[in-house]
């Protein structure tokens, strides 16, 4: 194995436009799920340096966390940097077989718990760096599936399935989720003028709060099994289909109403999806001209999106200055995971 070599990767975060929650078991196993999401110009990064010697160094620059561990076949699955440990353990078990020395450095453009799929995107980026360094024969579906298994099975972290596939494939995708953890990614051929209009009108706002998504998702899973939120989840899947049609046919201003309706159903999935602060922010945005919006990810904090028709984005952004959060600039991107060797 070559030493003293650098390898890098990055994977884009995503905005979930519709259907979020239907990609979570047991709902998608029993009824099938559908999600529409789009990747944006905010990223998770990984840099991997292969070393001589007998040490493993894991470092998250954005979190200011760093650990040095002896060379071993299986790293302890504990914090800090649990996700990085999980990726190494799985790749060593299934592909590399012999432990090796390296320094892995990561960062993400947004805070953790933001609702943009940060954890899953980071796992995809880390896998991408190892795939590049070790010349592993893994395609897009295989990388996304591996990332899903590391998070949901190896590390037993509650969550859905869309984030790993969005980060790996990139672009605007309508994703279908079935029993036996089968996933189909359908790239949408959205006309540029439709996508540019959506990008102009869709405001991305960080609430300056974060949350543990696993707690909300576990509550959602329990309610589905009890039948308490089944109808709301069905309707969320229908909203994903409506969103797909609106995007493809250029009925962009319908997206505000679709977001608003979907947010009302999303709040029925579990307690904690919304909070008094989120409701206050949402009402401020609506009064300023937004026709709809939602909390991103599982809910409880992190990012929100607002659909602002015509030129109302400026009034909405000004109204949101009453709170401690901030509007984040972004662009839609059509690429997913990319890795490269540093010459």
Kindly report the CATH number that applies to the domain delimited by 192-327: 3.30.70.890
The residue among 24, 12, 18 whose CA lies nearest residue 174 is: 18
- Integer Cα distance of 42 and 12 in angstroms: 6
Per-residue DSSP letter, 153: I
Task: State residue 227's pLDDT score.
Answer: 83
In this prediction, residue 180 has a pLDDT band, given cuts at 50, 70 and 90, of: confident
Whether 17 has a pLDDT exceeding 80, the answer reads yes
pLDDT of residue 213: 72
Q: What topology does CATH give the domain 6-189?
A: Ribosomal Protein S5; domain 2 (3.30.230)
Residue 133 has pLDDT above 70, yes or no: yes
Backbone angles phi, psi at 342, to 5 degrees: -85, 120
pTM (2 d.p.)? 0.96
**Using only C-alpha atoms, what is the Rg of the chain?**
20
Domains 6-189 and 192-327 share a fold: no
Q: Is 109 considered catalytic here?
A: no
pLDDT grade for 214, boundaries at 50, 70 and 90: confident
Whether residue 3 is predicted with pLDDT greater than 80 in this model: the reply is: no
Short-list 320, 311, 318, 303, CA closest to 42: 303
Q: Which tens digits make up the pLDDT trace of 36-79?
A: 999 999 999 999 999 999 999 999 999 999 999 999 999 999 99
Q: How far apart are the first and last CA of the chain?
A: 16
C-alpha 148/C-alpha 164 separation (Å) is: 6
Minimum mean pLDDT range among 3-17, 91-105, 162-176, 207-221: 207-221
Average pLDDT, the chain: 95
How far is 21 from 160, CA to CA, in rounded Å? 7
Examine residue 313 and say whether the peptide bond preceding it is cis (omega within 30 degrees of 0).
no
Confidence of residue 263 (pLDDT cuts 50, 70, 90): very high
Q: Determine the average pLDDT of the residues in 311-323.
A: 98
Average pLDDT (180-204) is 97
Domain boundaries, the chain: 6-189, 192-327
Q: Which of 23, 163, 180, 253 is catalytic?
A: 163
Confidence label for 4 from pLDDT (cuts 50, 70 and 90): low
């Amino acid at each position: 194995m070559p030493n003293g070599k650098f390898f890098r990767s990055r994977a884009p975060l995503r905005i979930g436009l519709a259907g979020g929650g239907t990609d979570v078991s047991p709902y998608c196993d029993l009824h099938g799920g559908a999600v529409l999401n789009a990747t944006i110009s905010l990223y998770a990064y990984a840099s991997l340096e292969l070393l001589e010697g007998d040490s493993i160094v894991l470092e998250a620059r954005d979190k200011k966390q760093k650990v040095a561990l002896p060379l071993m076949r299986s790293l302890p699955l504990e914090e800090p940097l649990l996700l990085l440990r999980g990726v190494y353990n799985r790749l060593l078990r299934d592909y590399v077989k012999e432990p090796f020395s390296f320094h892995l450095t990561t960062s993400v453009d947004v805070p953790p718990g933001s609702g943009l799929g940060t954890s899953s995107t980071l796992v995809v980026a880390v896998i991408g760096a190892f795939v590049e360094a070790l010349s592993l024969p893994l395609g897009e579906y295989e990388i996304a599936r591996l990332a899903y298994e590391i998070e949901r099975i190896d590390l037993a972290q509650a969550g859905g399935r869309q984030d790993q596939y969005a980060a790996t494939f990139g672009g605007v995708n309508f994703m279908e989720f079935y029993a036996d953890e089968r996933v189909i990614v359908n790239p949408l051929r959205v006309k540029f003028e439709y996508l540019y209009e959506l990008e102009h009108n869709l405001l991305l706002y960080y609430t300056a709060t974060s949350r543990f998504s696993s707690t909300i998702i576990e509550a959602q899973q329990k309610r589905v099994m009890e039948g308490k939120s089944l109808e709301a989840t069905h309707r969320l899947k229908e909203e994903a289909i409506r969103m797909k049609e609106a995007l493809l046919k250029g009925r962009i201003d319908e997206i505000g109403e679709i977001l608003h309706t979907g947010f009302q159903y999303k709040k029925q999935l579990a307690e904690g999806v919304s909070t008094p602060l989120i409701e206050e922010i949402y009402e401020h945005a609506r009064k300023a001209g937004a026709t709809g919006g939602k909390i991103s990810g599982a809910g409880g904090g992190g990012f929100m999106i607002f659909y602002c028709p015509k030129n109302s984005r400026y009034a909405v952004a000004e109204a949101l200055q009453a709170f401690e959060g901030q509007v984040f600039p972004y662009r839609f991107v059509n690429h997913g995971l990319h890795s490269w060797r540093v010459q």
